[in-house]
Structure 1
């Protein structure tokens, strides 16, 4: 697909100003010290960043959410990932048939007053046959009692909410609910430290006989709901990649200002990535126009686009490092940070190997994420 996505840079002037003023001075502390930019995220919410895809915005709300995330990702992928977590949480709520939960929490999440995460890394891998569902529930009067551990959930803190899926022994379908950090039986702890994305407040979630009321249920059974939200869930991740690629190109051009003569001998130059970025933006924008199509014919190009986003992120960050040369090895250098960030785009669920597995299964006629087969069983 050729052409440029429908994004006018002037549309993002206010957001860019907010990024320059409030986020860019913190990027070093976010990356090196693990600073979680909570105040900045809340300001993004006040500016409407988390609301594009959930307010019935005409003319491409999901694409505008992706494009806005990319503006953040140009400066800092950690913060862009936190934006994705918040957007995904809003996406769950906006698509839920639980109108009481949706009406009470969606305005808060979309405005950044209520922060939240996703919690779907484990079940996404479980539906692909890579992992097993780690939370288990037991039906009781008025809800479920749930137990288990999720090792890594991001954008969390005291009082934050997150979507989670649990199995119920004796049933074929799973249940998806919105849990709250700090509710009785739900605790969090930071058990791991990372070489990048340390400022995303990624924690382990321990769920010990937590009562999850029916009012917290997003979908029961979960599978038809997951088929509805999965395309948007994956498409939103493109915002991180688009921003990182654009930031890497900027780093290359900055290096060229002093080393352009020698950098001209490198095999992959900024123009290559700008052309790839334009094509990728156009593809993602077209896919984002119909985010509730959930058949394999639609998912194939969607997964291919997500895979391309990861591949181009790695290539662009690698090229930025080569353009920077020895200066890219400095502890506070943009180039080495971009390289570390790019690996996250490649390994966050669905990772490159996960995407290739799904595409292989589509080619073999086995569906996508095994989700469509499970819908018939659960529904």
Structure 2
């Protein structure tokens, strides 16, 4: 895979993918671009394979490399970065699952983009932080054959391609325990809504899932103990999510630098300062991911996720100031307006910044 350089940093993207992303970014945001085109384009460039062991069909590397790939895509289109985050996060669930038979069965189609992977664990991450109850419940089949009957909902899930998807779901047992299961688009009792009417990033196959008496067996378990497994996989979930903020911030800072000229040189130092803050947060994220320190203490990861979303918002604001009134004109400001909408999405991705700050405040209160 060749390296393509955009702005100040190297990106693991093929030039033809960069060209395609730049051409369709507006359509992915507004919904004019067919969402069915996104995953095949990303997969043709080998992006879901980054950070996956080569003996499992990947290109090697680690989660930090996958974060860099999501950042690179998000610099051109946050909608495409969002799809890649979902695909790669679901793949990570399989990589960290003890159910190797499930992994071996599903992974090939996910790596080459024939089927989508959706991370329906936003509710689970809030549950882990004590912010929300699980929204899917299970009970044994009455005939006692070992299968479970599931009922519930997932109100907001991305990358639910109508052409086919697998989705991870956190499920509550009647006895108070919880497990992680994999559901599929063709499971009886699993239904997909129409795409949600989003303000932006519309070509991301984002919809709701209803679950009514869906039956699964042990072969569909990603992990039998959600309480044990979620803290182990949360660093990858949130770390990969951080790639979106990194990419958007990087692109807006590049655009701001390119627009700083006569009469706007006062912005050079704020741009440089924010770029240094961004680089520092990226380094902290990469170090923590590679040292596996966030499994033991998630608070620094929460803080990094908050900081990166806030840096992205500040970067877009600096792009506006550097561009001036041109950014507010419909045609010359179209790409800026998209990035402004993209930046508005980052604080509300689950877990939202408010939820993360609430969890951090609760930790401090408990510690005191």
TM-score, scaled relative to structure 2: 0.88
Aligned to 2:122: 121
Asked if 2 retains the 8 angstrom alpha-carbon contact of 1:115 and 1:160, the reply is yes
Residue number among 137, 149, 152 corresponding to 1:148 in the alignment: 152
**Corresponding residue of 2:51:** 53
Shift of 1:94: 0.5
Contact 2:248 2:343 in 1 (8 A): yes
**Residues 152-186 of structure 1: CA distance to partner in whole angstroms, max 9, x if unpaired?**
100102321110111122x1211211111232111
SS of 1:138's partner is strand
Q: How far is the alpha carbon of 1:96 from its aligned partner? A: 0.5
Q: Is the 8 A contact 2:294 2:300 kept in 1?
A: no
* Cα distance in 1, alignment partners of residues 36 and 278 from structure 2: 29
What stretches of structure 2 of length at least 5 have no aligned partner?
none
Could you report, residue by residue, the CA deviation over 1:20-56 in whole angstroms, capped at 9, with x for unpaired residues? 2322111111112353543342232233211222317
Matches within 5 A, 1:91-102: 91-102=92-103
1:189-247 CA-partner distances (Å, limit 9, x unpaired): 12631222212111011111111222111111222111210111111111101100111
What's 1:30 paired with?
Answer: 28
Partner of 1:181: 185
Q: Which residue of 2 aligns with 1:314?
A: 313
Counterpart of 1:359 in structure 2 is 360
* Map of 1:203 onto structure 2: 207
User: Which residue is equivalent to 2:198?
Assistant: 194
SS of alignment partner, residue 196 of structure 1: coil
The answer (yes or no) to whether the contact 1:60–1:289 under 8 Å persists in 2 is no
1:287 counterpart SS class:
helix
Residue 166 of structure 2 is matched in structure 1 by 161
Number of aligned positions between the proteins:
355
Per-residue Cα deviation, 1:65-95 (whole angstroms, up to 9, x for no partner): 0111111011010110110000110010001
Deviation at residue 273 of structure 1 after TM alignment:
2.6
**Cα deviation code 1:236-267 (max 9, x no counterpart):** 111101100111012213333xxx22323458
Partner Cα separation in structure 2 for residue 218 and residue 172 of structure 1: 18
| Partner Cα distance (2:107, 2:240) in 1 | 17
| 1:217 is aligned to 2:224 | no
SS of 2:160's equivalent in the other structure is coil
Q: Distance in 1 between matches of 2:42 and 2:195?
A: 28
Contact 1:63 1:285 in 2 (8 A): yes
Asked whether the 8 Å contact 1:168–1:174 carries over to 2, the reply is: yes
Structure-2 separation of matches of 1:366 and 1:264: 46
- Is contact 1:231-1:293 (8 Å) kept? yes
Measure, in 1, the Cα distance between the counterparts of 2:44 and 2:149: 35
Task: Give the match for residue 284 of structure 2.
Answer: 283
- Cα RMSD, aligned residues only: 2.5
Q: Structure 1 residues 190, 324: CA separation in 2 closer, same or farther (over 3 Å shift)?
A: farther
1:3 is matched with which residue?
none
Q: CA deviation at 1:341?
A: 0.7
Q: How does the TM-score come out when normalised to structure 1? A: 0.86
Q: 1:324: how far off?
A: 2.4
Cα 1:59–1:201, aligned 2, differ >3 Å: closer, same or farther? closer
SS at match of 1:294: helix
Counterpart-to-counterpart distance in 1, 2:318 and 2:328: 14
What residue is the counterpart of 1:76 in the other structure?
77
2:60 & 2:169 partners in 1: Cα distance?
31
- Do the aligned partners of residues 18 and 37 (structure 1) sit closer, same or farther apart at CA in structure 2, a change above 3 Å counting? farther
Deviation at residue 363 of structure 1 after TM alignment = 2.2
Given that 1:251 and 1:320 are in contact with CA atoms closer than 8 Å, whether structure 2 keeps it comes out as yes
Distance in 2 (CA, whole Å) between partners of 1:59 and 1:278 is 24
Q: Which of these residues, 39, 42, 48, is aligned with residue 44 of structure 1?
A: 42
> Does the CA-based 8 Å contact 1:52-1:65 persist in structure 2?
yes
Q: CA deviation at 1:330?
A: 3.6
